C-alpha cells in the first residue's frame, strides 16, 4: 500500500507542540480582584477565586475559598461586584470546611 504524501495528524500535532514549546510563555502582570470597592480575599491565607453563577441569574459571581476552608462569594450585579460575604448553606449557616 503506498504511503500518503501528507503528514499524519499526529505528526502535525507533534510539530505544533514542539514549535509552541520553543517559545517561553507570555503572562500579563497579576491583578488583584476587587469586589464592593475592597480587595477580594484580603487578609486570608491563599485565597483562590473561581467564577461561578451561584444564584442562577446568568452572571458569573466570584467564589473564594482559602487554606483554612472558609468560603465567601461576591455576587455580580448590573454595576459590578457586591461586597464579599460568607457563602451560606440552605440552613443559613456559613459554609466553612475547617481545613485546620
Upper half-sphere CA count for residue 99 (Cβ side, 13 Å) = 9
Strands, E assignment, the chain: 34-35, 38-39, 48-52, 61-65, 71-74, 76-77, 80-81, 85-86
pLDDT in tens, 32-78: 889 999 999 999 999 999 999 999 999 999 999 999 999 999 999 99
Q: Where are the domains of the chain?
A: 34-100
Give the Cα separation of 32 and 49 in Å (integer).
11
pLDDT in tens, 83-97: 999 999 999 999 988
- Asked whether the whole model's pTM tops 0.95, one would answer no
Tell how many helices (H) and how many strands (E) occur in the chain: 1, 8
Amino acid at each position: 500500500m503506498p504511503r500518503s504524501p501528507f503528514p499524519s495528524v499526529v505528526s502535525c500535532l507533534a510539530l505544533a507542540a514542539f514549535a509552541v514549546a520553543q517559545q517561553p510563555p507570555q503572562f500579563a502582570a497579576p491583578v488583584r480582584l476587587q469586589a464592593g470597592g475592597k480587595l477580594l480575599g484580603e487578609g486570608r491565607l491563599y485565597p483562590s477565586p473561581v467564577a461561578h453563577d451561584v444564584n442562577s441569574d446568568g452572571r458569573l459571581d466570584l467564589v473564594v475559598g482559602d487554606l483554612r476552608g472558609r468560603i465567601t462569594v461576591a455576587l455580580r450585579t448590573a454595576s459590578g461586584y457586591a461586597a464579599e460575604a460568607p457563602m451560606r448553606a440552605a440552613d443559613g449557616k456559613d459554609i466553612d470546611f475547617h481545613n485546620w
